[in-house]
């Protein structure tokens, strides 16, 4: 009996051992299978990311047989046919090819940006990119009503950038999937002649181009000569006290052009000629206000008035008009915008403002749209003090930013930045000195790569709170290409010296300065600015046209 029990007990032990070994084998197999699955997936993703980087170094992108900087848009059309959508931006023309999951950006027929949202790209996650290449060289953001994205920028070569665009990580999704990628080349790299020009400029010459200065009096002075020939400024703004009669104004501008003809680059010669009550040019009848145009809501009339403004500018010898106003006049107590706005509705301001802008541009005169990110809801005048607006980005996107976003898509060349404080976006600096507003929102989110300039830095909104030297440095650091200093030569000198010192000390990089100067010189080249003099203005004809436009 004992022997029988022992045998049974031994069988139980054997069975238990077999079960334990089998379970260990199964666990081991599951572990191996899991690890194998992980290894199979991870190298596949890593391999795809590596391939994207390898192609980007050559200016290429997966699933698109083109080379950035070498392929022409005609070659794209020959292979892919006509695009499904076309957008004219200030930086380039972008064409969408929906069946190819691609967008092609081109400038002067040369492809400078290729984007892909192919299914294979959209299988890559944030962690896959970080495992292969680590931290990005730069990180940007883009947000609108539909998306909240991050942009990882990698400098893959001296010529090309690779950008990964994907949703921002959240607690629910810490490892988001890629939306699309983009291989681009710096525009300045696409234009070797422009690079050579920058290389041949001194730091002082570059910073001079970034200054738009005011002058005193109605005649050419030694101070004006100093600004042109010694300080080598990029442009001059004129006010009513500079241009009191027609012949005197033409003589002043011709003398300035004569002085400028020995310089490397012609000057921007600008004035606030908006129509309505903000009309600086002497001898002319007054055009309707933007508010009156808005009440008629006539896009053709708005374009024709813009075209006439351009004619007025050329007749006197100017090449840049600080117009139109794209502020939505949402605050009836606004002391500075009022009837300068096309109205209280963003869509009307957008449509009519853009038509005026295009009308000005049609006369080969530069249009400066203003005052970003929107001066329409202020209750104080920035000439006298710093306005404060308690709005966040979502608020601005619903109203104030709409006309500017539309203008950018329709080819705005220059945007002027207002002096307003938006503490919910940037509690430390007014918009004209705010990196968040200029570099993050205007450049990053709205993708504007044209010329950005400040409003007059000698307004009390700035000088009542900051030293002109510090304010000018902060304005450049924020992303402005041009610092406008309309009054007092001493202020201009302080600004120039401060920016030079900031570059020499490393506070501002010379690359940052080069980016601005490239944009400025590109704009001057685009409009073929010259020092050609004006003989006389046909005031009678201009006034007759004004009467017709006014319906009189």
96 assigned to active site: no
Q: Can you tell me the distance from the alpha carbon of 133 to that of 127, in angstroms, rounded to the nearest whole number?
A: 10
Identify whether the C-beta of residue 290 lies closer than 8 Å to the C-beta of residue 352: yes
Using alpha carbons, list the distances in angstroms from residue 123 to 18, 127, 147. Answer: 44, 12, 19
Q: Are residues 137 and 262 in the same domain?
A: no
Q: Which residue, of 129, 156, 190, is where some domain finishes?
A: 190
Residues 109 and 240 in one domain: no
CA separation for the pair 70, 59 (Å, rounded):
9
Residues 327, 376 contacting (CB under 8 angstroms)? yes
172 with 213, same domain? no
Residue 430, domain extent: 207-547
Shared domain for 177 and 211, answered yes or no, is no
Residue of 369, 350, 383 lying closest to 413 (CA atoms) = 369
Which CA distances in Å does 446 have to 71, 177, 406, 479? 27, 23, 9, 14
Q: Has residue 474 been placed in a domain? A: yes
Distance in angstroms (rounded) separating the CA atoms of residues 193 and 196: 5
Asked if residue 15 belongs to a domain, the reply is no
- Check residue 349 and give its pLDDT: 96
CA dist 168 → 174, 337, 392, 417, 536 (Å): 8, 37, 19, 28, 59
Shared domain check, 147 and 217: no
Query: Rounded distance, CA 508 to CA 498, Å?
Result: 11
Question: Is 343 contained in some domain?
Answer: yes
Handedness of CA 397, 398, 404, 408 (dihedral sign): positive
Residues 405 and 259 in one domain: yes
Other Cβ atoms less than 10 A from the Cβ of 428: the count is 11
State the catalytic residue, choosing from 231, 327, 377, 455. 455
What CA–CA distances, in Å, run from 341 to 156, 294, 480?
45, 8, 24
- Residues 182, 211, single domain; the answer is no
CA-angle at 419, arms to 203 and 223, nearest 5°: 45
Domain boundary among 161, 190, 219: 190
Mark whether 455 is an active-site residue: yes
> Same domain for 165 and 280?
no
Phi-psi map region of 261: left, alpha, beta (phi>0 left; psi -120 to 50 alpha): alpha
Indicate the number of domains in the chain: 2
What is the rounded CA–CA span in Å between residue 438 and residue 453?
A: 10
On whether residue 513 sits in a domain, the answer given is yes
Q: Distance from CA of residue 270 to its chain's centroid?
A: 21
Buried b (16+ CB within 10 A) or exposed e, 182-212: bbbbbbbbbbeebeebbeebeeebbbbbbbb
Pairing of strands 180-185, 160-167: antiparallel
| pTM of the entire predicted model | 0.70
Helix, strand and coil percent figures for the chain, each rounded to 5: 45, 15, 35
pLDDT for residue 145: 67
**Contact yes or no for 482/211 (Cβ under 8 A):** yes
Q: Is there a single domain that holds both residue 230 and residue 329?
A: yes
30 domain-assigned: no
Helix (H, G, I), strand (E, B) or coil at 428: coil
List Cβ neighbours of 490 (8 Å cut-off, separation of 6 or more).
none
| Domain assignment present for 468 | yes
Same domain, 232 and 170: no
Report yes or no on 275 lying in a domain.
yes
Buried b (16+ CB within 10 A) or exposed e, 525-549: eebebebeebeebebeebeebbeeb
Same domain for 387 and 257, yes or no, is yes
Instruction: Tell me whether residue 5 is in a domain.
Output: no
Q: Which residues of the chain have pLDDT under 50?
A: 5, 21, 24-42, 188-191
168 and 225 share one domain: no
Catalytic residue among 77, 364, 383, 435: 383
Provide the CATH number for the domain around residue 377: 3.20.20.300
């Amino acid at each position: 009996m004992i022997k029988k029990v022992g045998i049974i007990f031994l069988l139980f032990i054997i069975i238990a051992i077999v079960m334990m070994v089998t379970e260990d084998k199964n666990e081991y197999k599951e572990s191996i299978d899991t690890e194998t699955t992980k290894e199979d997936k991870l190298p596949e993703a890593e391999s795809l990311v590596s391939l994207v980087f390898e192609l980007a170094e050559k200016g290429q992108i997966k699933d698109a047989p083109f080379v950035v900087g070498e392929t022409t848009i005609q070659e794209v059309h020959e292979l892919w046919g006509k695009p499904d959508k076309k957008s004219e931006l200030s930086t380039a023309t972008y064409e969408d090819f929906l069946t190819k999951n691609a967008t092609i950006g081109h400038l002067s027929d040369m492809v400078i940006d290729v984007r892909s949202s192919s299914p294979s790209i959209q299988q890559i996650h944030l962690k896959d990119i970080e495992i292969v290449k680590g931290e990005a060289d730069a990180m940007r953001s883009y947000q609108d009503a539909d998306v909240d994205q991050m942009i990882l920028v990698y400098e893959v070569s001296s010529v090309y950038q690779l950008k990964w665009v994907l949703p921002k990580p959240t607690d629910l999704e810490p490892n988001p999937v890629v939306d699309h990628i983009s291989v681009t080349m710096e525009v300045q790299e696409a234009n070797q002649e422009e690079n050579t020009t920058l290389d041949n400029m001194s730091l002082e010459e570059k910073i001079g181009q970034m200054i738009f200065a005011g002058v005193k009096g109605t005649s050419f002075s030694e101070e004006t000569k100093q600004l042109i020939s010694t300080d080598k400024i990029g442009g001059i703004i004129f006010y009513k006290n500079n241009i009191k009669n027609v012949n005197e104004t033409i003589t002043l501008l011709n003398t300035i052009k004569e002085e400028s003809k020995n310089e490397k680059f012609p000057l921007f010669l600008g004035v606030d000629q908006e129509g309505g009550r903000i009309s600086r040019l002497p001898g002319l009848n007054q055009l309707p206000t933007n508010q009156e145009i808005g009440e008629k809501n006539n896009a053709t009339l708005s374009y024709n008035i813009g075209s006439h403004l351009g004619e007025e500018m050329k007749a006197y010898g100017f090449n840049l008009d600080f117009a139109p106003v794209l502020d939505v006049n949402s605050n009836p107590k606004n002391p500075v915008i009022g009837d300068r706005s096309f109205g209280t509705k963003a869509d009307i301001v957008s449509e009519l403002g853009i038509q005026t802008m295009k009308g000005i541009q049609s006369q080969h005169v530069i249009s400066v749209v203003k005052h970003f990110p929107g001066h329409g809801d202020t209750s104080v005048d920035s000439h006298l003090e710093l306005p404060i607006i308690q709005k966040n980005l979502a608020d601005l996107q619903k109203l104030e930013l709409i006309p500017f976003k539309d203008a950018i898509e329709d080819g705005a060349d220059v945007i002027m930045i207002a002096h307003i404080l938006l503490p919910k976006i940037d509690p430390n600096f007014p918009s004209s000195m705010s990196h968040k507003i200029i570099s993050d929102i205007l450049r990053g989110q709205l993708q504007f790569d044209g010329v950005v300039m400040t409003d007059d830095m000698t307004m009390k909104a700035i000088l009542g709170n900051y030293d002109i030297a510090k304010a000018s440095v902060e304005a450049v650091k924020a992303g402005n290409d041009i610092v406008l200093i309309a009054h007092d030569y001493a202020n201009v000198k302080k600004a120039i010296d401060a920016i030079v010192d900031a570059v020499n000390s490393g506070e501002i990089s010379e690359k940052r300065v080069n980016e601005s100067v490239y944009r400025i010189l590109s704009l001057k080249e685009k409009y073929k600015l010259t020092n050609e003099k004006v003989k006389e203005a046909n005031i009678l004809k201009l006034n007759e046209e004004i009467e017709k436009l006014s319906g009189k």
